[in-house]
Amino acid sequence: MTSSSAASRKALSKIACSRLQKELVEWEVNPPTGFKHKVTDNLQRWIIEVVGAPGTLYESEKYQLQVDFPEHYPMEAPQVIFLHPAPLHPHIYSNGHICLDILYDSWSPAMTVSSVCISILSMLSSSTAKQRPADNDRYVKNCRNGRSPKETRWWFHDDKV
Amino acid sequence: MAPLPVPTSVAKQAEQLKQDGNSYFKKERLGAAIDAYTEAYYMLGLALLEKHDYSGGIKELEKALELGRGANPASYMVEEIWQVLSTAKYMEWEDSSRKRASRLQNLREVCEKALIDYYLIDASEAEDSSRENDHFQQSEYLHEVFDKAAQADTPSEVPDHLCCKITLDIFRDPVITPSGITYERAVLLDHLQRVGKFDPVTREPLEPHQLVPNLAIKEAVQAFLSDHGWAYKGPDQAPPRITSNVKHNLQFLRLWRGLDTAVPVLLVDGYNVCGYWAKLKKHFMKGRLDIARQKLIDELMEFSVLKGDKVLFHHLQQKPSYSCCGYLKF
């Protein structure tokens, strides 16, 4: 299997390009609450700023998401990670990788960057403790060679947070 | 139907393809026959567009599309014909909407002037200022009526219910799933093959044989497009990007087989070269395709002098990108 970090460097297909342009236009008209897309000329990598929702553990804290689109988006999920420093959360590793099923096994091409962002914010908002996942150190050590989270075999055993 | 304005060489090529088709058909090689027919219609359509005969070109391209889709809905030929067809339809709309707009503008000016004249006559007769208000309202209403008349020709958003949830683009070949959701056929089939056998929105299990054409949506799309020709164009203003592939280039060589084939021919996919070669890319990215094109031609001239090759250009018209091949003689 080719590493997906290499795959994400491949140019976007025509379908991916046209779909991302449409998503971008829609985002500009109607961005999800709490998110800001940092405008660059790179359609294949979006940097998105997220602000913790009021009344949650992350209220007014600012984080950055990096979204990389593969050649065959939306037939493949985008790779979404938090840039350093990643929020302290039971499903977010210190290297920014996010344990969220829709980013991997449960991806569907009917989802959009916007809907993914909303899921991530909702995951943050429902957290009751600011802590790293139990296996954080082991996992981050395993990823040292620059492995993409899309190569991880995730276990999604907890749907409460 | 007499394709008179087409250059005789192209007409001959198309005729040759048609005869190829006929002979394949007689030999019961149906796949090859359909390919030849598709190509013949496609060529004829391109040639008519070149002559700015939009409606004639569109007619031929629609035949090509129908044949191509029947043979293999996911083939690159179908995609390419669609791209050319929708660009042609956009051009046709642009042409007719320009005429409509200028007619409307003329009428508007005449009406406004008439209204003012009428008011002036009225004002000189009755020395009453209450008429001024009437006049103001009438002229406002006149503006409103003309703005409304121009609305259908003003590009805006395609309604969501005419767009696929995956491509976010207007439907071409819509199919409905047992969950009641409609998708673009080609991408949904791609999803079922690559991602999984489920409905992308509802996640209900889904098999390819369960898909049914959604004819009502297809008609709604046709109706919308016939009133709003601008919707044929995607958000990118660039001409359709054509991926170079060997089979395709070979096909174009076949189309140009009247050339002296003993001379080496270099096929140049100009659009993609301009997009990748750093010294051309900087112009290309700024939308100055014309500069990038000229620089590329200069490079190739130099190259051809060195090598003595003939150079065929692929997809490097300045805009609109109708013709698929240019030919440089040295």
Please tell me if residue A140 touches chain B, with a CB cutoff of 8 Å.
no
Predicted local distance difference test score (pLDDT) of residue B133: 77
Give the Cα-Cα-Cα angle B64, B310, B276 (nearest 5 degrees).
Answer: 70
Residues A37-54 have pLDDT tens digits of 987 778 999 999 999 999
**Nearest CA distance, B138 vs chain A (angstrom):** 35
Which of the residues A17, A99, A117, A143 is marked catalytic? A99
Among chain B residues, the shortest Cα distance to A11 is held by B276
Instruction: Decide if A99 is catalytic.
Output: yes
Residue B130 has pLDDT above 50, yes or no: yes
Pick the range with the lowest mean pLDDT from A43-52, B85-94, B147-156, B305-314.
B305-314
* Distance to chain A for B82, nearest Cα, Å: 14
Measured distance CA(B292)–CA(B300) in Å, rounded: 12
Residues 86-115 of A with CB under 8 A from B: 107-110
- Show the tokens assigned to B8: 């005789």
pTM of model > 0.90: no
- The answer to whether B201 contacts chain A (CB < 8 Å) is yes
Can you spell out the DSSP letters for B11-54?
Answer: HHHHHHHHHHHHHHHHTT-HHHHHHHHHHHHHHHHHHHHHTT-H
Phi, then psi, of A160 in degrees rounded to 5: -85, -35
* Strand extents, DSSP E, A5-118: 35-38, 45-51, 62-68, 79-82
**pLDDT band with cut points at 50, 70 and 90 for residue B267:** low
Q: With contacts defined as CB-CB under 8 Å, which chain A residues touch B236?
A: 17-18, 21
- Residue B295's Cβ-side half-sphere holds a number of Cα atoms within 13 Å equal to 17
* Position B38 pLDDT exceeds 90: no
> What are the tens digits of pLDDT across the range B275-296?
667 777 777 777 677 777 777 7
Share of residues in chain A with pLDDT > 90 (%)? 59
B226-245: average pLDDT: 58
- Rounded Cα distance, A111 and B322, in Å: 35
pLDDT at B242: 35
In angstroms, rounded to a whole number, what is the distance separating the alpha carbons of residues B194 and A75?
7
The alpha-carbon gap from B320 to the nearest alpha carbon of chain A, in Å, equals 19
Pick from A1-5, A23-27, A107-111: least confident: A1-5
B75-124 per-position pLDDT tens digit: 777 878 888 888 888 888 888 889 999 999 999 999 989 988 888 887 77
Nearest beta carbon to residue B166 from set A21, A74, A76? A74
B-chain residue closest to A14, CA distance: B241
Average pLDDT over all residues of chain A: 87
Among A10, A12, A13, A15, the strongest candidate for a mutation testing the B interface, having the largest count of B CBs within 10 A, is A15
Which tokens in the block code for residue B93?
Answer: 């709309």
B50 vs B312, higher pLDDT? B50
Binding-face residues of B in 61-90 toward A, CB within 8 A:
none
Q: Measure in Å the smallest separation between the Cα of B12 and chain A Cα atoms.
A: 34
Out of A51-55, A114-118, B258-262, which region has the weakest mean confidence (pLDDT)? B258-262
